[in-house]
Structures are given as structure tokens and as C-alpha cells.
Structure 1
Amino acid sequence: MASTTNIQLLTPQHWKDYELIDCGDFEKLERFGELVLIRPEPQAVWPKTLSEAEWTKRHDIRFKGRSATSGEWLKKNPKIQDRWHISYKNTDVAIKFRLGLTSFKHVGIFPEQAVNWDYISESVKSFKTAQPKVLNLFAYTGGASLIAKAAGADTTHVDSIKQVVTWANENQEISGIDNIRWVVEDALKFVKRELKRGNTYNGIILDPPAYGHGPKGEKWKLEDHIMEMMRDVVQLLDPEEHFLILNTYSLGFSSVIVENLIKTAYPKVENLEIGELYLQATAGIKLPLGVFGKFRKIKK
């Protein structure tokens, strides 16, 4: 069957606990639950829609960078806690996250990924396989892992940073989920070992960084290693029923590059969708936050 490619622009819908209010001048104003944060945003190269006075009035916490990789959080009210919880719910599942103010401007979640979470739960629920197996690589604090498990999948979560996996485990506990398999390991090494074991998965999620390090100092550079990774992971897909999501944040990667990667690694791909993830600000502007490629095959 000839493969078809659909190009899409996608943004999360109906998420009560998250809102991008505005973005511009290399910052974003966003609400997580009841707290409104200002954080750096290198993609927001246009002017702010709302006034600086409005931003100042509305925010609770602002991140001020000391360098390109670290900084500090300035709170309007010192009684504001460094940790808090938010929820996410779609038509299939509901999960919770513990958020936190880190020194790297992150809070433990990438909201635009909710589009991929919906695709994961929809895929798992639609599979004929009794308990689909899902592998989440570069899995961070586990949003995709929680969604897959809550939808009924036997889920393996792989990340190279132990503290991040611990955070993901906290999210599992507050979500009322259990039995996700946690693996602290270099993602590429894990995939190669799974190939040797002869294991297969019905779903594979890849959300690789531009740069990274494994627990034993292994180096990851997206443009150097992504083709090798793709050629390996497609061999782990169950041939009869599967989905795969590749998401990248690299400014140098377009959706066409992602399409070429997938089609080169998996020439028999069906139902391929590629495109761009963005957040729609209530002030009116769109914030692009990565490109994706995804496909699935369901038993007739």
C-alpha cells in the first residue's frame, strides 16, 4: 500500500489547568492551575500582544536567567509554594502532575505534548491487542507514560536522568496509577538491547532533545544519532498493530525532515501524519513548539 502523508498544525484543546495567555519579546505568560508564570521563550521573536503592565499585573512568578542554562524564580508573594499539582483529562483518561520551579526555567511539563497524549490514549484504546505494550523514550517526567498506562498499556519509561524518573514516579502515584516500568538508561543503548532480546512494542514514543547525556556519559546529538535510533526503533514495532510518535524541538528541524526520517527508516509506513505543534495564546498569537511525525496501524 502506498503511504499517505497528512500535514497538520495541532494545539491542545480544552485543558482547564493550562493556558498560554500571551507570548512575545522572547517570553511567555502562561497559567498552570492557579499560578501564572513568566518564562523565557526563544521562539517568541515578535512583540507582546498585551502590555507590559498587563503582564506585570497578571503574573505570580517570573523566571530571571543568570545565564543561558540557569536562573532564579522571583515570586510576588513569598508564600507561594515551589511545588503544586495540576490535572489533565481527555475523553479516555485523566492524570495528574506535580509541577516544580527548577533552576532551568522548566516546571516539569511541556503542555503542547497534550496533542500527542490524546493520540496515544486513542491508539491504545482502539487496539485489538489485549494489553498493548508501549515504550516511551527520552521520557522526562512521564506525561506520555502516564497516559499510556492509564489507557491500559503495559508501559516502559526510559530516561537517562535518575531525578527525572523519580519525578515521573511521583506523577504516577498522584495519578493513582501503578506498575509503569522505570528504566534509567541511555535510550539508544536500551533500544539495541531490546532488539537483541527480540522484544516488540505496539507503541513507541520518542521525544529526543537536541543534546543530551546518558547516565554513563554517553553523548546524544540529535542530527548525529536520530537516523540510527529510527532504524532501530521501527524494528521493535509489532508488525500487525502499532503506533509511533517522533517529536523534536530542534530549531533546525522541519516537519519534512521528520517525514524523511520516518519514511527512510520505515518505507512501508501507513497513515503518516506530520506537522507542527503550537500553543494558541488567548491573546491571539500562536507559539510554535516543535515538529512531529506519527503513524499507526490497527488490526482489521
Structure 2
Amino acid sequence: MIQLLTPTYWKDYELIDCGDFEKLERFGNVILIRPEPQAVWSKALSPAEWQRLHHIKFKGRSATAGDWVKKDPKTPDRWHIEYKNNDVAIKFRLGLTSFKHLGIFPEQAVNWDYISGNIKKFKTPAPKVLNLFAYTGGASLIARAAGADTTHVDSIKQVVTWANENQELSGLKDIRWMVEDALKFVKREVKRGKTYNGIILDPPAYGNGPNGEKWKLEDNINEMMSDVIQLLDPEEHFLILNTYSLGFSSVIIENLIKNAFPKVSNLEIGELYLQATAGPKLPLGVFGKFYKNKS
């Protein structure tokens, strides 16, 4: 059965409304308007209400870059928020980037809950977790806070530096930081005979490694999955594959996982979304995940 999942523990995040290719969001005490290509319907709230509520709006200059326009110049460019579930609590430093991102994807909180919940159930002491395409480290922080020996892999040095800031802000330490092409890293770990109890993949549609390596989701994901499966500890494990690509469905994710791992158990597939306070549901990616505990 295909599931529709949305975060339930967020206090510092709220999707207020979305529509007309925009979203109105609260991060802590700061309310922003950002572009959202999935929001093809009309807004639930009036334009006047959007104008009244927001503090900062992103205006694009090109397809990939833009500027933030503040109603009050004193509104900060950087601020902190917290995420807390029943198992752990972590903190993030957010910032206004020229490509509309803030350093966090709030819908991923659903996957964070799955990570911490599985780690807490593991019988393996200090289970090893590998986070690929790891961005600013939400999943890495959650895994480390839950007690995992955590390796964080991303190809962009500045993003890994940001993730390390989030580690310090969260009062954590000893995450292993790797600035590397994810596929190359996985192949090397396979050759070394390494295994992990948890593996998290959130690959982009397109990307580049630190040495110019090219990543295209539909071209490379099958090879990646075939290699990644070899790294899973056979006795106790979990794996999450999450994608945000307009051409990918959860059925594609299911086929990829079953093709790479025919003996998979406890497989869940579905779609992540954010529930707007004003009513609409905003779809934000598809996932497949599974686990195995020691008997």
C-alpha cells in the first residue's frame, strides 16, 4: 500500500499556505514566501493575508538564483530552530541563500523519526549509519543523537561545513565528515568490505561531485542501489531512499529496491507531504524504506 506521510512533531516549522507556485512558511519566528513549482492550485488565503504575514520574500533573478526582500531590514539573515521527537532533539542554523534554500527540508522529519526509532530498537551497540547526499545533516544529526556511529557524505564542502555547524549547535560530536562523490565513496566501501546498519539516500535529480563527477538520478540510481545493498549489515539494518523529482513515483522506488534486494522485508513506499494550516497538502517527494531487526 502506498502511504502519504507528513511530519507530526514540528514546533518550529509550519506550512501556513501554498498555491500559485508559492509557499508561505514559518521557521521559528520568521515567516517567508518562497517559490514552489508543485503548488499549481490557487492559494487558500488572500494576497492581503500573505502580504500581512510574511517577513521575507524570495524573488528570482534567473532559474537558479534570486534575492531575498525583507519588509524590515532588521530581520536576521541567519537564525536557529530546533526539531524534537520522542527520541532526540537537534538544532539547525538556517540562512538565506541565493538559490532559495534555507538549509533544511522540513518534510524530511518523517524520515528522521524513522531513523531514530529504528536506531533505538537496534540490539547492535553503536550501530553504523551512512548518510549519502547528506546536505546540511538533518539525518546525520538525528542518527548521531540516537547513538549511531555516523558517516556523512556530500560533494559540496560548504554544505558539509554547514552540517558541522549544526552538529556543534546540537551539542553533538564525532560525526565522520566526507566531502566526496557519493557513488565513488560507496564503491570504495564495498571493496573494503564495510557494512552499515543504516543507510540513508536523498539524491538530487542532478548534481556534481567535487572532481566534476556527473550525477543524473535516472541514469545512476540503479547502479547506486545495487552497490548500496552490499553495504547493509545482513542481521540488523534499515534503509531509506528518498527522491524529489517530478518524474519519479513511489512505484519506481519500489521497483528499484526490490530489484536490488529481492529478499527485502518490511518495505514501505509512499509520498511525503506538508499539511498547510490553511488546508492544502503540498507533495514533496517519494520514499521507500525498510528495516530488519535481530531475532
Band of TM-score, shorter chain:
over 0.9
* Number of aligned residue pairs: 295
- Is residue 50 of structure 2 the alignment partner of residue 55 of structure 1? yes
2:264 aligned with 1:269: yes
Any idea what SS the aligned residue of 1:236 has? coil
How many angstroms does 1:106 deviate by?
0.2
1:87 to 77, 82, 87: 82
4+ residue runs over 4 A deviation: none
Structure 2: how far apart are the matches of 1:133 and 1:199? 10
Q: State the partner residue of 1:11.
A: 6
Taking the aligned partners of 2:236 and 2:9, their CA distance within structure 1 comes to 29
1:226 aligns with 2:224: no
Name the CA distance, whole Å, in 2 between partners of 1:57 and 1:230: 46
> Hey, what does 1:68 align to over in structure 2?
63
User: In structure 2, what is the Cα distance between the partners aligned to 1:75 and 1:197?
Assistant: 51
SS of equivalent residue, structure 1 residue 67: coil
Task: Pick the aligned partner of 1:107 from 102, 105, 110.
Answer: 102
Aligned residue in 2 for 1:291: 286
What corresponds to 1:3 in structure 2? none
Matches within 5 A, 1:85-164: 85-164=80-159
Deviations 1:35-77 (CA, angstroms, capped at 9, x unpaired)? 0000000000000000000000000000000011000000011
Matched, 1:206 2:201: yes
| TM-score (norm. length: structure 2) | 1.00
Provide the secondary structure at the position in 1 that maps to 2:123. Answer: coil
Instruction: Confirm or deny that 1:173 pairs with 2:168.
Output: yes
Q: Which runs of 5+ in 1 are unaligned?
A: 1-5
Q: Which amino acid aligns with 1:143?
A: G
Query: Which amino acid counterpart does residue 90 of structure 1 have in structure 2?
Result: N
Over residues 243-292 of structure 1, what are the superposed CA-to-partner deviations in whole Å (9 max), with x where a residue is unaligned? 00000001000000000000000000000000000000000100000000
- The DSSP-based 3-state class of the residue aligned with 1:232 is helix
2:23 is the alignment partner of 1:28: yes
Q: SS of 2:230's equivalent?
A: helix
Q: How far did residue 21 of structure 1 move?
A: 0.1
Q: Partner amino acid for 1:33? A: G
Structure 2 residues not aligned, in runs of 5+: none
Shift of 1:202: 0.1
Q: Please state how far the C-alpha of 1:14 moved relative to its aligned partner.
A: 2.7
Secondary structure of 2:248's aligned partner: coil
Q: Following TM superposition, by how much is the alpha carbon of 1:7 offset from its aligned partner in structure 2, in angstroms?
A: 1.9
Q: CA deviation at 1:109?
A: 0.2
Q: Residues of 2 paired with 1:279 and 1:223: CA distance?
A: 25
- Aligned counterparts of 2:75 and 2:13: Cα–Cα separation in 1: 18
Matched residue type, 1:9: L
Offset, 1:80: 1.0
Q: Which amino acid aligns with 1:68?
A: A
- Backbone CA RMSD of aligned residues: 0.4
1:243 and 2:238 matched = yes
Question: Per-residue CA shift, 1:115-171, capped at 9, x if unaligned?
Answer: 000000001000000110000000000000000000000000000000000000000
Instruction: For 1:121 and 1:246, locate their aligned partners in 2 and report how far apart those are by CA, in whole Å.
Output: 16
Distance 1:297 1:8 in 2: 20
Q: Distance in 2 between matches of 1:216 and 1:245?
A: 26
In 1: Cα distance, 2:260 partner to 2:127 partner: 23
